């Protein structure tokens, strides 16, 4: 008889996936600490909501410019070695923030430049990591691996902001940046310890045509394209949570410790949802799950925008995190199952433009609207627009609305 707990953690039986899982858990915790420190320090330096919005713009522009090239490189080179390079570059970015803060040379310009370099590193790292993942586990354990990886990210996003809030209140932002830089040792060590090496496969040339091959595959697989587009639209309108420092300071009056709780609330809900997704079989009504989770995400964000009570705000952020994770796991599983291994890096890079570009551009839009009308209107209107996007997609895309797990094989056929 199969142990149900063991079967729910099946992906962890694979040694290399286990190493990556644990290394990423440590490294992501440090990175999530930085996501609190950067906007907090920038807000203290400028006091401007527009300055916070520019954080998203500085992150997304390098991703849009370099992501597709990063996908081609991930398909052409050893993905494990590419991750070592990208993780080392991100560690250098964290060291730069730590050093300039310690020496008093930190400025908004320095922070924006470091974030832009980090965006370039991420444009290499994400395609390499996501296309490496299916090579570390058997195909039947892929959905479990994606769910566990999402859970690791969310656990880190709970611990990181909470620790950052305490450390900032105690010693300021410098220790946060230093710990973030040190955390990359864990994932780099895990990658070096892996037995996996690049499998023999047809060579991919690093050319413009190779990049276009990924776009052509996306055109021939509309199911992937429409789920990506829907995610982009939803996160663009509801991507306003970079305004949390303003909520902690002006609206909820909870200080840096409360800010850490606000940042951790959404990942708590997401971690619960990721754990649930990792310990159950594939959801049957895939399309309905995506549409409903996006609508619930928007409703929770809209309600958070007008909340004046910390407890209610934390619950609403947790609900939004849970809904977003359900959508993400379903979409990622669909994309990984439908994409040939030779194209995984390029498809991940295209997906980056959607799932990272949406929220980062949305943060810039939120900062502009917050400056013009106010932060509460910016957040709430974005959530309502997210609900509208899900409703339009449900009406305009009946094939997505009716999508089930049994449709995967039929969806592989070009249309």
pLDDT digits (tens, 9 = 90+) for 182-237: 999 999 999 999 987 765 554 555 666 666 776 777 777 777 777 778 778 777 77
Alpha carbons 228 and 360: distance in angstroms, whole number: 15
Closest CA to 193 of 29, 76, 83: 83
Count CA atoms within 13 Å of residue 265 on its CB side. Answer: 22
pLDDT of 314 over the 90 cut: yes
Which pLDDT value is given to residue 362? 75
CA distances (Å), origin 143, targets 22, 293, 354: 18, 18, 21
Instruction: Show Cβ contacts of residue 336 under 8 Å, excluding neighbours closer than 6 positions.
Output: 130, 133, 134, 142, 146, 344
Angle at CA of residue 74, ends 68 and 80, nearest 5°: 145
Residue 322 vs residues 148, 294, 318, 338, 365: alpha-carbon distances, Å: 14, 10, 6, 25, 24
Cα separation, 207 vs 337, whole angstroms: 25
Question: Which tops the pLDDT comparison, 75 or 313?
Answer: 313
Chain mean pLDDT for the chain: 81
- How far apart, in Å, are the Cα atoms of 187 and each of 8, 75, 118, 143, 388? 24, 21, 16, 22, 40
Q: Which of 234, 243, 241, 204 is nearest to 327 (CA)?
A: 234
pLDDT score of 295 more than 70 = yes
Contact 209, 102 (CB under 8 A): no
Average pLDDT over residues 363-380: 81
Residue 374, CA atoms < 13 Å, CB-side half-sphere: 7
| Residues 310 and 258 sit within 8 Å (Cβ to Cβ) | yes
Which of 32, 30, 39, 29 minimizes the C-alpha distance to 256?
Answer: 39
The tokens 């570009």 sit on which residue? 357
Average pLDDT (113-124) is 90
Cα 26 from chain centroid?
A: 16
Distance from first CA to last CA of the chain, Å, rounded?
43
pLDDT reading at 242 higher than 90: no
Provide mean pLDDT across the span 291-309: 90
Least confident of 128-132, 282-286, 366-370, 386-390: 282-286
Mean pLDDT value across residues 366-371: 79
Report CA 354 to chain centroid distance, whole Å.
11
User: CA 382 to CA 24: how far, in whole Å?
Assistant: 31
Q: What is the pLDDT of residue 266?
A: 84
Distance CA 216, CA 218 (A): 5
Enter the pTM of the model: 0.69
Per-residue pLDDT, 376: 86
Closest CA to 150 of 307, 355, 350, 287: 355
Residue with tokens 């056929």: 413
Provide the pLDDT confidence category of residue 404 given band limits of 50, 70 and 90. low
The percentage of residues in the chain with a pLDDT greater than 90, rounded to a whole number, is 22
**Residue 412: which pLDDT band, with cuts at 50, 70 and 90?**
very low
- Residues sharing a CB contact under 8 Å with residue 298, sequence separation 6 or more, in sequence order: 234, 237, 238, 382, 383, 384, 385, 386, 387, 388, 389, 390
């Amino acid at each position: 008889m199969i142990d149900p707990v063991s079967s729910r953690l099946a992906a962890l039986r694979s040694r290399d996936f286990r190493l990556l899982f644990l290394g990423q858990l440590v490294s992501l915790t440090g990175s999530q600490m930085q996501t609190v420190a950067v906007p907090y320090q920038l807000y203290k330096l400028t006091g401007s909501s527009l300055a916070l919005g520019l954080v998203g713009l500085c992150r997304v522009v390098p991703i849009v410019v370099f992501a597709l090239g990063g996908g081609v490189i991930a398909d052409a080179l050893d993905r494990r070695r590419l991750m070592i390079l990208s993780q080392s570059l991100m560690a250098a970015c964290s060291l730069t923030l730590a050093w300039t803060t310690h020496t008093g040379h930190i400025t908004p310009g320095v922070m924006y430049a470091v974030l832009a370099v980090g965006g370039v590193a991420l444009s290499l790292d994400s395609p390499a990591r996501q296309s490496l993942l299916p090579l570390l586990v058997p195909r039947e354990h892929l959905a479990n691996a994606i769910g566990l990886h999402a859970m690791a990210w969310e656990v880190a996003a709970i611990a990181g902001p909470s620790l950052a809030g305490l450390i900032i209140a105690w010693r300021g932002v410098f220790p946060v940046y230093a710990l973030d830089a040190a955390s990359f040792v864990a994932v780099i060590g895990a990658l070096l310890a892996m037995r996996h090496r690049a499998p023999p496969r047809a060579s991919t040339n690093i050319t413009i045509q190779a990049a276009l091959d990924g776009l052509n595959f996306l055109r021939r697989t509309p199911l992937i394209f429409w789920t990506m587009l829907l995610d982009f639209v939803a996160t663009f309108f509801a991507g306003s949570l970079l305004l949390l420092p303003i909520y902690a300071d002006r609206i909820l009056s909870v200080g840096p410790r409360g800010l850490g709780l606000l940042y951790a609330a959404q990942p708590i809900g997401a971690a619960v949802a990721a754990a649930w997704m990792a310990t159950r079989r594939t959801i049957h009504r895939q399309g309905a799950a995506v549409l409903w989770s996006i609508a619930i995400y928007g409703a929770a964000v809209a309600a958070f925008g007008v909340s004046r009570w910390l407890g209610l705000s934390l619950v609403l952020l947790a609900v939004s995190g849970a809904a977003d994770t359900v959508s993400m796991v379903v979409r990622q599983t669909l994309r990984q199952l439908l994409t040939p291994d030779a194209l995984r890096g390029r498809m991940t890079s295209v997906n980056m433009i959607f799932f990272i570009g949406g929220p980062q551009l949305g943060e810039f839009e939120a900062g502009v609207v917050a400056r013009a009308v106010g932060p509460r209107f910016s957040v709430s209107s974005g959530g309502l627009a997210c609900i509208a996007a899900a409703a339009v997609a449900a009406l305009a895309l009946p094939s997505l609305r009716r999508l089930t797990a049994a449709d995967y094989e039929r969806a592989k056929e070009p249309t």
